[in-house]
Amino acid sequence: MFASIVLSCDILPAQEETAPQRLPRENLLVYRDKANHPRPVESIDDWQKRRSEIIAGMQTVMGQLPGEEKRCTLDVQVEEEVDCGKYVRRLISYASEPGSRVPAYLCIPKAALADGASPVPAALCLHGTDNTIGHGTVVGLGRPNRNYAGELAERGWVTLAPNYPLLAKYQPDLKELGWESGTLKAVWDNIRGLDLLDTLPYVQQGQYGAIGHSLGGHNSVYTAVFDPRITTVVTSCGLDSYLDYYDAKPEVWQAGRGWTQVRYMPRLADYRGDLTQIPFDFHEMIGALAPRSVLIIAPLRDSNFRHASVDKIATAARPIFQLYGRPTALKVMHPDVEHDFPPKMRQQAYEFLEATYRSSATPKRGSAN
């Protein structure tokens, strides 16, 4: 299998060749050896070297993912509980780090709370951009077609929906807390959310789904790259290549615009003169999710992200899923809709989560940094 993969790589393994400043985003089957020379990926061990470089590139822009020094007692507090028929919805907060409490909705099927009930699957449900109610959108409190946390709870899943930093009422002081990007702060809050799920006796612990739309779509991907406890990812309207984002218009890459906003990754503005040198892209991050199950929903009429770009990303990432012997674990769907998450697509997303949950690769505890 590996030989057939390598034949598709136009890589010259000459000893004197020096690896470029950035390995190609469209060809994941190349890594740097100890002498900094490009080499064809011929094994999973080879790929892990490339994967480590991808994660290092992410942290160059996002900041370094913290370790145990940021972990503290979760100190979960329940502020409200609402009976939603088949499940209860709790508005909670938890301490993700010293000096920062994350508001979140925790939806729990009533059947899971019954005496003698078996633990049930759980998922992070990450919301899109909303500066009014934030995470309330995914529990049915805001715009239509976003209630995936509530709908999954109705299907028997425990769902946790943390608020994204610097949206709605969640306004942590990123600089004071030591964060270099809102993106990594969100990833850390999500990782701590998984720690919370790990403590719940009614949850099947250790492997989780992640589902999100728009902002929640790429938030799901970023988090899953860093935490292998996420074994299934659904990203709706959440990504295209940084090179294709709004057709790479220069004004979109000015400091404080688009991806360079404080709540995302301000350092990306440093690359506005040459976007090709951004040290990571979704080609690589989707590849870094292998061999886990990934569904990318990229509508044909999405005005935010280009569906053709998603196809290029998937084409680049699929050889890594093939390397692991899971060539069909990465799926792409192109509904003929706009930047939305309509009922038919949500239904297919839920079925994907349910069908792949138990067949997902068993993760190791902790972050893959």
CA pair distance 18, 36, nearest whole angstrom: 6
pLDDT value at 4 more than 60: no
pLDDT at res. 304: 95
Which tokens in the block code for residue 14?
């000459």
CA pair distance 367, 77, nearest whole angstrom: 25
Q: What amino acid occupies position 312?
A: K
Strand partners, 32: 38
User: What digits encode the pLDDT tens for the residues 300-329?
Assistant: 999 999 999 999 999 999 999 999 999 999
Phi, psi of 84 (to 5 degrees): -110, 30
DSSP string, 67-105: -GGG------EEEEEEE-SSEEEEEEEEEEETTEEEEEE
What does the angle CA 76 – CA 69 – CA 101 come to, to the nearest 5 degrees?
A: 30
Q: Across 287-333, where does the E strand assignment appear?
A: 293-297, 330-333
pLDDT value at 38 more than 50: yes
Taking a C-beta distance cutoff of 8 angstroms, is the pair 109, 146 a contact?
Answer: no
Q: Which residues contact 347 (CB under 8 A, 6 or more apart)?
A: none
Which tokens in the block code for residue 151?
């709908």
Taking a C-beta distance cutoff of 8 angstroms, is the pair 230, 292 a contact?
Answer: yes
The Cβ-side half-sphere exposure at 10, using a 13 Å CA radius, reads: 2
pLDDT at res. 366: 38
pLDDT at res. 3: 33
The verdict on domain 104-359 having CATH code 2.30.30.100 is no
Q: Looking at residues 57-66, what average pLDDT do you find?
A: 98
User: What digits encode the pLDDT tens for the residues 169-196?
Assistant: 999 999 999 999 999 999 999 999 999 9
Q: Looking at residues 38-48, what average pLDDT do you find?
A: 98
Which tokens in the block code for residue 95?
């301490």
Q: What is the pTM of this model?
A: 0.92
pLDDT value at 81 more than 80: yes
Q: What amino acid occupies position 9?
A: C
CA pair distance 367, 356, nearest whole angstrom: 22
Average pLDDT, the chain: 92
CA pair distance 268, 362, nearest whole angstrom: 34
User: What digits encode the pLDDT tens for the residues 108-153?
Assistant: 999 999 999 999 999 999 999 999 999 999 999 988 999 999 999 9
pLDDT at res. 358: 63
CA pair distance 120, 343, nearest whole angstrom: 23
Q: Looking at residues 274-280, what average pLDDT do you find?
A: 97
CA pair distance 258, 264, nearest whole angstrom: 8
- Residue identified by tokens 């995470």 is 135
Q: Looking at residues 32-43, what average pLDDT do you find?
A: 96
pLDDT at res. 57: 97
CA pair distance 144, 318, nearest whole angstrom: 33
The Cβ-side half-sphere exposure at 137, using a 13 Å CA radius, reads: 26
Domain ranges of the chain: 104-359
